Amino acid sequence: MASEARVLEAYALRPEVTFLQRLRRGTIDFIKHKPLGTFGAVIVLVLIAMALVPQAFTTLDPNKSILLDRYQGPSAEHWFGTDQQGRDLYTRIIYGTRNSIMIGFGVVAISSSIALILGVVSGYYGGWFDTLVQRLVDVGIALPGLIFIILVVTSLQQIPVNMRIVLAVGSLIALSSSRVIRGASISAKQNQYVEAARVIGASDMRIIFRHVAPNVFPILIIGASIQVGSAVLVESSLAFLGYGVQPPTASWGRMLNEARERLVQFPHLAIFPGLVIFFTVYSFNMLGDALRDVLDPRLRGSR
């Protein structure tokens, strides 16, 4: 009985061990064959850590102003220099990460949810319903993006500005993303197992949730990883134009805006926030490209 119990216990643990082994092997293969994607993933993890625990990267107050230290260049005391109010630029960049990353992931959550619902339902049912949804999507895509976002941000004053940006940018990105999801849904519903499920009497909702939606998740994940970088760039652009978070809250785009007047005399004010925005967008794009190669069956063989 004891030996039988040990055999059963080993058999019960085997799937978990197999999953961990596959996860470890997949991670090693990803690092080996996708160095740019690995670099992007490392930068993304660092950015998430900065957003969650900025105190681990700096002990200074991002809003502490020392007028005697204004416009100092990079030094051992102030790694990225100081701004026009004597605030430490490195510290403000660290704390600005929270705002950008929260908006980026918020936009992806909104856009992915809307795109999944519109794309899957429209692609699965087709017919007049699909035509109606796609014409509404055409109208939304035809709207000038920046003007639409500014209109939403300036109109919904009773909602926090970060939430306004998330709703505006997320809704706009969802429309174009839903087209990709729709195409994948049309392809997925033509599989034989979907036809078999329909023949045995499975409901439309069961087929959508059990057979169609799981087939578009890889595409959704790939798009989401790239959209985070785009959302960060849009948030920085809005802050640069004065429609983002208001002072004294740290924001990368607002730092660039504040650096315009003294750009020639003190270029470090724009160089470091600009580099952070560049590497953030670059990292998410590289990670998204690597995930596409890994998750897309048509590209899975490419290295």
pLDDT digits (tens, 9 = 90+) for 237-277: 887 777 877 777 888 888 888 888 788 888 888 888 889 88
Lowest-pLDDT range of 8-12, 71-75, 136-140, 171-175: 8-12
Please report whether residue 110 resides in a domain: yes
Residues of the chain above pLDDT 90, percent: 1
Residue with tokens 């040990």: 6
Looking at residue 23, its pLDDT comes to 66
CA 23 – CA 134 distance, rounded (Å): 39
Please report whether residue 9 resides in a domain: no
Please report whether residue 203 resides in a domain: yes
- The structural domain count of the chain equals 1
Nearest to 173 by CA among 221, 230, 128, 118: 230
Round the CA-based radius of gyration of the chain to a whole number and report it.
24
Identify the three-state secondary structure at position 82: strand
Residue with tokens 């216990």: 9
Looking at residue 149, its pLDDT comes to 84
293 touches 299 (CB < 8 A)? yes
Please report whether residue 275 resides in a domain: yes
Q: How confident is the model over 5-9, as a mean pLDDT?
A: 43
pLDDT tens digit sequence for 107-159: 888 888 888 888 888 888 888 888 888 888 888 888 888 888 888 888 888 88
Q: Cα–chain-centroid distance for residue 293?
A: 18
Q: pLDDT category, 4, cuts 50, 70, 90? A: very low
For residue 300, pLDDT over 70 is answered with: no
Looking at residue 303, its pLDDT comes to 47
CA 165 – CA 37 distance, rounded (Å): 28
CA 174 – CA 147 distance, rounded (Å): 17
CA 229 – CA 232 distance, rounded (Å): 5
Q: Could you tell me the residue range of the domain that residue 229 belongs to?
A: 31-295
Q: Which two tokens stand for residue 238?
A: 């809005």
CA 163 – CA 110 distance, rounded (Å): 11
CA 249 – CA 235 distance, rounded (Å): 14
Please report whether residue 3 resides in a domain: no
Q: Where would I find the beta strands (DSSP E) of the chain?
A: none
Alpha carbon of 145 to those of 112, 141, 181: distances in Å?
18, 8, 21
DSSP letter (8 states) at residue 244: S
- Domain of 100, CATH number, reads 1.10.3720.10
173 touches 227 (CB < 8 A)? yes
Please report whether residue 1 resides in a domain: no
CA 191 – CA 187 distance, rounded (Å): 7
Query: What angle do helix axes 127-142 and 89-125 make, rounded to 10 degrees?
Result: 150
Please report whether residue 10 resides in a domain: no
